[in-house]
Structure 1
Amino acid sequence: MKIKRYVKSSLFLAVVALLVISVIVSTGAIITVNKRNREIENKNAQIETVNNQLKETKQKLETETEAKEKLTTKLQQAENEKKQHENENKNYKKEIEKLSAKKRAEVKKTVKKKTAKQNSPQPKYPKATKTCYLTFDDGPSKNTLKILKILKKYDAKATFFVIGTNSKLEYLKKIEKGGHAIGLHSNTHDYSKIYKSTNAFFKDLNKLSDKIDKKIGIKPKIMRFPGGSNNTISKKYKKGVMSDLTTEVQIKGYAYFDWNVDSGDASGHNVPPNRIAKNVLNQAKKKNSICVLMHDTAAKNTTVTALPTIIEGLKKQGYKFEVLTENTYGYHYKVNN
């Protein structure tokens, strides 16, 4: 009996233990399941977030693609408009070139007529109105002041063709105040630079014009070519340049002047004053209108010495002294280049 009771008791305890274990295991499983469910929910939430981000990114990409397409279209339109404007500009340029060529041809024709007239035989003037244009090149210098005093003494006028590299440009005011004319000669007087092209010549000439304008407020419209319009040294740097320049300066509104009486003061150093005076006075005979070439550089002291004799001698020959203007006869030589 005791054994049976013991067995029953043991079986009962075993069943209870199994039930307890089952409950414990079941409870643990439930906890694990619940935990996993929460993790699944969290993951689902994360997935939803990522999906939303992907959706936004996709929409943004679609928007950007659309914007890019619009920009591409606008860019293409702009390119087309640019090409259209460029083509129109080309047509306008061609039209301008045609009009410019036509105008240029007309101006050249006018200039040629004017040049032909300038190069025609010297017009005859009555002896009572014989005119002398005294001209001085390559100044101003200290000798310019001496020349101005002599001119004032004899009540004579002259024209000064100045260069720009001269340090005495402040004398321009004294020249102008004395009632004399100022003309352009060259900024540098460097044949190798100014005669290598028409552009080089005018670049140099414009620099001189600007310097004079800065000093006395005028831009002269009369000029003289270094070496004269018939110089042959220019062809060493550009053949035919003088033919172009003699036309171009007139197209640009300048009047250029050569001479028909050469004092010879540039033929050497310290040319004797009596020879200079004799050269001028002899060449002036049998003429009614003369343009005398002299120089007023610092080295031409004998020119200063000869000047009173020249003026007195020309007055005896019946000459009066005037300044060159844009409308004065040009004394042009035949271009030889």
Structure 2
Amino acid sequence: MLIHKINTGFFLAVIAFLVAYSVFDPLSWWVYLIPLALWFIITGLGSAFVQWGYHVKSLNRGEKSGNKIAITFDDGPTSETIKVLELLSKYDAKATFFCIGKQIEKHPDIFKQIIDGGHIVGNHTFNHLPEMGFYSTDKILAEIVKTDELVSRNGLQLKLFRPPYGVTNPNMAKALKRTGHAVIGWNIRSLDTVINDENHILKRITTRLAPGSIILLHDTSQKTVNVLEQLLILLKEQNLKAVAVNELLNIPAYEE
């Protein structure tokens, strides 16, 4: 949240300077709109991209040395998750699944398969609604806690969180301060939910791929399953090892 405070403080100082200056040399009203508009633009972008760390500190990649990368999946579990798990097992890879609470309720057996496969799970809120950016702190907190409590039935106390759509705001920052979750971002966004061409999705990943990368995928479509197999083959060829994000970042995934 430090960047947000610095940005807000800077533009407030600019406006204060303009007001003081106008005492001696009156300014047109539109001059005051310039810093205000810039503040809105920067804040909007900072809220939309979790990697900026604008409202909350996020972990977006691991060490560039070594040969480890992390593949992460959002929005599951779904029926496609089973195919993802089969591929990960086939190529001896581990991944991290940021799960939606209501999806866990729909597919408890698949969720258990993720855990039994040695993969890591994280919190992706309970409902994953686009309007969450307008929720109060208490409402966001309830979304996070409800999923935590659901997962705790499997004996796991979640430490990792990924904001829906990568969107953050001051209310989410306050909620996360209370829960203590580590926020996990990414440095490679596949756009597999909006791009239909599998080759294009794969190219977006491979052209950015390097040790320490955290890749964002979604275990929600056959298209992504197809891309995943090609990616896992490439990782073998390049001697890159897919590990869970907690191993890549050397942080705990669960409460002890």
TM, length-normalised to structure 2: 0.68
The residue type equivalent to 1:255 in the other structure is A
The SS at the match of 2:96 is strand
Would you say how many aligned residue pairs link Structure 1 and Structure 2? 196
Q: Assess, with a 3 A threshold, how the Cα gap between structure 1 residues 278 and 195 changes in structure 2: closer, same or farther.
A: same
Match of 2:199 in 1: 274
The answer to whether structure 1 residue 190 and structure 2 residue 129 are counterparts is yes
The answer to whether structure 1 residue 205 and structure 2 residue 105 are counterparts is no
CA distance in 1, matches of 2:244, 2:85: 14
Any conservation in 2 of the 1:222–1:326 contact (CA below 8 Å)?
Answer: no
Q: Assess, with a 3 A threshold, how the Cα gap between structure 1 residues 123 and 193 changes in structure 2: closer, same or farther.
A: closer
> Shift of residue 217 of structure 1?
1.9
The SS at the match of 1:292 is strand
Match of 1:289 in 2: 212
The residue type equivalent to 1:226 in the other structure is P
Match of 1:265 in 2: 192
The SS at the match of 1:139 is coil
The SS at the match of 2:64 is coil
The SS at the match of 1:315 is helix
Any conservation in 1 of the 2:94–2:119 contact (CA below 8 Å)?
Answer: yes
Match of 1:143 among 80, 88, 98: 80
CA distance in 1, matches of 2:62, 2:230: 27
> Shift of residue 193 of structure 1?
4.4
Any conservation in 1 of the 2:140–2:171 contact (CA below 8 Å)?
Answer: no
The SS at the match of 1:186 is coil
Any conservation in 2 of the 1:254–1:326 contact (CA below 8 Å)?
Answer: no
Any conservation in 2 of the 1:195–1:201 contact (CA below 8 Å)?
Answer: no
Between 1 and 2, higher relative CO (CA 8 Å, sep ≥ 6) is seen in 2
> Shift of residue 194 of structure 1?
6.3
For residues 311-330 of structure 1, the aligned pairs below 5 Å read 311-325=232-246, 328=249
> Shift of residue 123 of structure 1?
6.6
The runs of at least 4 aligned residues of structure 1 exceeding 6 Å deviation read none
> Shift of residue 171 of structure 1?
1.2
Q: Assess, with a 3 A threshold, how the Cα gap between structure 1 residues 159 and 263 changes in structure 2: closer, same or farther.
A: same
Match of 1:104 in 2: none
> Shift of residue 245 of structure 1?
2.3
Q: Which runs of 5+ in 1 are unaligned?
A: 1-111, 232-240, 331-337
CA distance in 1, matches of 2:63, 2:82: 34
CA distance in 1, matches of 2:91, 2:248: 25
- Structure number with larger C-alpha Rg: 1
> Shift of residue 316 of structure 1?
2.6
CA distance in 2, matches of 1:210, 1:194: 22
For residues 107-118 of structure 1, the aligned pairs below 5 Å read 115=57
CA distance in 2, matches of 1:123, 1:328: 5
Match of 1:12 in 2: none
Greater helix percent: which structure?
Answer: 1
Q: Assess, with a 3 A threshold, how the Cα gap between structure 1 residues 194 and 208 changes in structure 2: closer, same or farther.
A: farther
For residues 154-169 of structure 1, the aligned pairs below 5 Å read 154-166=91-103, 167-169=106-108
CA distance in 1, matches of 2:242, 2:177: 25
TM, length-normalised to structure 1: 0.53
The residue type equivalent to 1:283 in the other structure is R
For residues 48-127 of structure 1, the aligned pairs below 5 Å read 115=57, 124-126=63-65
> Shift of residue 155 of structure 1?
0.2
The residue type equivalent to 1:162 in the other structure is C
Match of 1:134 in 2: 71
